Structures are given as structure tokens and as C-alpha cells.
């Protein structure tokens, strides 16, 4: 209250500008939204009035009238994960280019929060959303569509094309690349350290890994051992080391493939604490190619995803859905790339 009354000018609207420029409100609106329809001379006059009165458009008014707001939601699983922040940058850059504001919402990997956030987007009549769904249940998103807010699924290649757009990276190919790399180094078995299999991405990475062993004539059932953790963070990776090493030094695996760089970094730390050396005693492969994968020593061999590009592509797709007259849902698939650093080495008995 005190803040408002302290303000210099008591809030000026389009009508005030119109009066000041000797023109009708409709014309001012046109200057703002379709400048080409208004004559040069009047346009300049209006712009002068806008500048002089320090007019700032009220987006509530326009979204109310037009039924949609000029902002898009970005629903991420975890704001803390560097993977998402990189994606966010891509989305933001592209959105800024289209004049859209980005509302960042964090589901914190929890259904309930996702539902709340989706509802919020509906209340804001958001133009669209880029969403990383928290699990396989897409009902929240279908509801959102019915409310008139379209969306693009991120990193979920499994959404049907009649339901919505999606942008993702080929997780099967990524898992396979990691597997082939290790096999090429002479490894004949690997431990796959992962988050919950409820997450589609990790399932696909696992399948890719198995496929790599299969194509080399090995039996994936015996070659690939799986350790499932509830979350994909460093602490979980560190904790999992004991499980990895259980069975004693004789049966100790010589290679770990982690579903995530965060897990992998945790594992490397845990191994170090127990006196094991990477890559001499154990090869470690991660997934994502987070910035710090290059900062640890040894550098982490990992499957790189085009994070920034992923965000850009998603936003571009959304934009085309918003403007395009005859839009059909599309599925964009990026291919990941293996980045070899120091954390993997040839198998030695």
C-alpha cells in the first residue's frame, strides 16, 4: 500500500495514452500490436505519448481479452540438476526470441507438485508448456490440453504423436554407445547403476546397454548386473558403492555404467574413499555430460546429450504449435554422443 501511493504517476493505461496523443484507444492498441496497420505519422505521435507518460502495458488486460497469456511454463523435475538448467537456458533463449515469458516450475520429482503446477498453468491460461513428466501417467497433461494449453514433452520419446509433441534423445543409442565402449576395452560384464525403472529414460538406456552385449554374442542376463536406487543424485551413488563391491574383491565388477553423471560422480568419490582407483581398479561411465564431468580427476567418460539444443528445439516446436495453423504433433529425436575421458580403461585381470 505504502509502496503504491509513493509511486509518481498513478498508473497510466492505454486510454490515457490515447487521450494524450489525440487518438482513440483502438489505435494505440494497434500501434502496440500491429504497427503496420497505422500510419507513420500517428504511430510516431502515439509512441511519443507512450514514452512521455512512461506507459507500461498491462498484460493481465490483454491476456484476459485474448484468452491466452504470453507466457509458457517450463516444468522440470529438479531445478537443482545441472542437466535441467542447461535445458532451461535453451528454452529461455528461444522463448525470449518469440517474446514469451518463461515460468519455471519445479515438480521436485513428485506427482502432487506436478499436478499443482499444471493447475497453475491452466489458471494462468499459459500459452503453452515444456514439460518433463514425472512418470508414465500423462493424465495431467491431457487435462492441460483440454484446458487449451498445449505442451511439448521433453525427454519422453514414448508419448504418442496423437497426444502431443515430444523432443528427446535416443536413450537406447546412448546405452548402446556406453556398452560398446566398454566391450571395446575388453570388459565382459558391467554393473548398471540406475534410478527407478519407472523412469522411461533409464529403462531405454538399460535396454541399449544389454543390446550392446547381445550384439557381441554375450548373454546380457549374466553380463549386466543392475542396482536400482530411489534417486539419481551423488549421495545415492556414493551409498551404492557398498552394494557394488559386495561379494568381496574377487567378484568385484570392473566397470560401472551409471544412468546419470550425478550418480557416477558419487560412485567415483565412494570408490576413492575405499582406496580403489579409477580407472585402474574400476571403469566408470556416466550419462549427460554435465559441466563438471570435465572437472573431476580423472575426467568422466560419459554419454553427452545436446542439452541446450534440446531446450531450444522444444521451445521452437511449441512455438510452431502456437502459431501454426495446421499443426500436427511431431517427434524430434536427437542422437547422443559418447565422450571418452579418463575414467575408463582396458580390462586387466
Q: Name which of 313, 314, 319 is nearest 100 in CA terms.
A: 319
- Does residue 39 interact with a copy of itself by CB under 8 A? no
Give the cell for residue 208.
541399449
Give the separation between CA 183 and CA 188, rounded to whole angstroms.
6
If the CB atoms of residues 74 and 303 are measured against a copy of itself, the closer one turns out to be 74
Q: Name which of 263, 188, 179 is nearest 229 in CA terms.
A: 263
Could you say which of DNA, a copy of itself, none residue 297 binds, taking C-beta under 5 to 8 angstroms by partner kind?
a copy of itself
Give the cell for residue 323.
502459431
User: Least distance from C-beta 323 to DNA, angstroms?
Assistant: 13
User: Least distance from C-beta 180 to a copy of itself, angstroms?
Assistant: 27
Angle at 97 between CA 96 and CA 101, to 5 degrees: 25
Per-residue binder mask for a copy of itself (CB under 8 A), 210-239, x = binder: ------------------------x-----
Q: Name which of 254, 271, 273, 276 is nearest 344 in CA terms.
A: 254
- Does residue 121 interact with DNA by CB under 7 A? no
CA atoms within 13 A on the CB side of 130: 33
Could you say which of DNA, a copy of itself, none residue 2 binds, taking C-beta under 5 to 8 angstroms by partner kind?
a copy of itself
- Does residue 80 interact with a copy of itself by CB under 8 A? yes
CA torsion through residues 321, 77, 79, 107, sign: positive
Could you say which of DNA, a copy of itself, none residue 79 binds, taking C-beta under 5 to 8 angstroms by partner kind?
a copy of itself
User: Least distance from C-beta 11 to a copy of itself, angstroms?
Assistant: 7
Instruction: Compute the radius of gyration of the chain from its Cα atoms.
Output: 26
The residue with cell 492505454 is: 14
Pick out residues in 23-82 that bind DNA (CB under 7 A). 23-27, 29-30, 32-33, 37-39, 41-43, 55, 57-58, 60-62, 64-67
Binding site for DNA (CB under 7 A): 11, 13-15, 22-27, 29-30, 32-33, 37-39, 41-43, 55, 57-58, 60-62, 64-67
Amino acid at each position: 500500500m505504502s509502496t503504491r501511493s509513493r509511486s509518481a504517476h498513478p498508473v497510466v493505461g492505454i486510454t490515457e495514452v490515447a487521450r494524450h496523443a489525440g487518438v482513440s484507444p483502438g489505435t494505440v492498441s494497434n500501434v502496440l500490436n500491429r504497427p503496420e496497420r497505422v500510419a507513420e505519422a500517428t504511430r510516431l505521435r502515439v509512441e511519443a505519448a507512450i514514452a512521455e507518460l512512461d506507459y507500461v502495458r498491462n498484460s493481465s488486460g490483454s491476456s484476459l481479452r485474448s484468452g491466452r497469456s504470453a507466457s509458457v511454463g517450463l516444468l522440470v523435475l529438479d531445478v537443482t540438476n545441472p542437466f535441467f538448467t542447461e535445458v532451461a537456458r535453451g528454452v529461455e533463449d528461444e522463448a525470449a526470441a518469440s517474446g514469451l515469458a518463461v515460468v519455471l516450475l519445479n515438480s521436485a520429482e513428485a506427482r502432487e507438485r506436478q499436478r499443482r503446477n499444471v493447475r497453475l498453468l491452466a489458471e494462468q491460461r499459459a500459452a503453452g508448456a515444456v514439460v518433463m513428466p514425472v512418470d508414465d501417467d500423462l493424465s495431467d497433461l491431457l487435462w492441460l490440453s483440454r484446458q487449451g494449453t498445449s505442451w511439448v514433452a521433453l525427454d519422453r520419446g514414448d508419448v504418442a504423436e496423437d497426444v502431443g509433441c515430444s523432443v528427446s534423445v535416443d536413450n537406447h543409442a546412448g546405452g548402446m554407445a556406453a556398452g560398446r565402449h566398454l566391450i571395446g576395452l575388453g570388459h565382459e560384464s558391467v554393473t548398471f547403476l540406475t534410478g527407478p525403472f519407472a523412469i522411461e529414460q533409464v529403462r531405454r538406456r538399460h535396454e541399449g546397454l544389454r543390446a550392446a552385449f547381445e550384439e557381441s554374442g554375450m548373454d546380457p542376463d549374466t553380463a549386466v548386473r543392475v542396482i536400482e536406487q530411489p534417486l539419481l543424485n551423488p549421495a545415492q551413488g556414493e551409498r551404492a558403492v557398498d552394494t557394488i563391491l559386495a561379494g568381496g574383491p574377487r567378484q568385484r565388477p570392473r566397470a560401472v555404467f551409471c544412468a546419470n553423471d550425478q550418480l557416477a560422480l558419487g560412485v567415483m568419490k565412494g570408490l576413492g574413499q575405499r582406496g580403489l582407483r579409477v580407472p585402474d581398479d574400476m571403469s566408470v561411465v556416466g550419462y549427460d555430460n554435465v559441466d563438471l564431468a570435465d572437472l573431476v580427476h580423472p575426467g568422466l567418460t560419459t554419454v553427452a546429450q545436446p542439452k541446450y539444443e534440446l531446450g531450444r528445439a522444444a521451445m521452437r516446436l511449441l512455438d510452431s504449435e502456437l502459431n501454426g495453423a495446421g499443426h500436427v504433433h511431431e517427434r524430434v529425436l536427437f542422437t547422443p554422443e559418447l565422450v571418452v575421458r579418463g575414467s575408463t580403461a582396458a580390462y586387466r585381470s
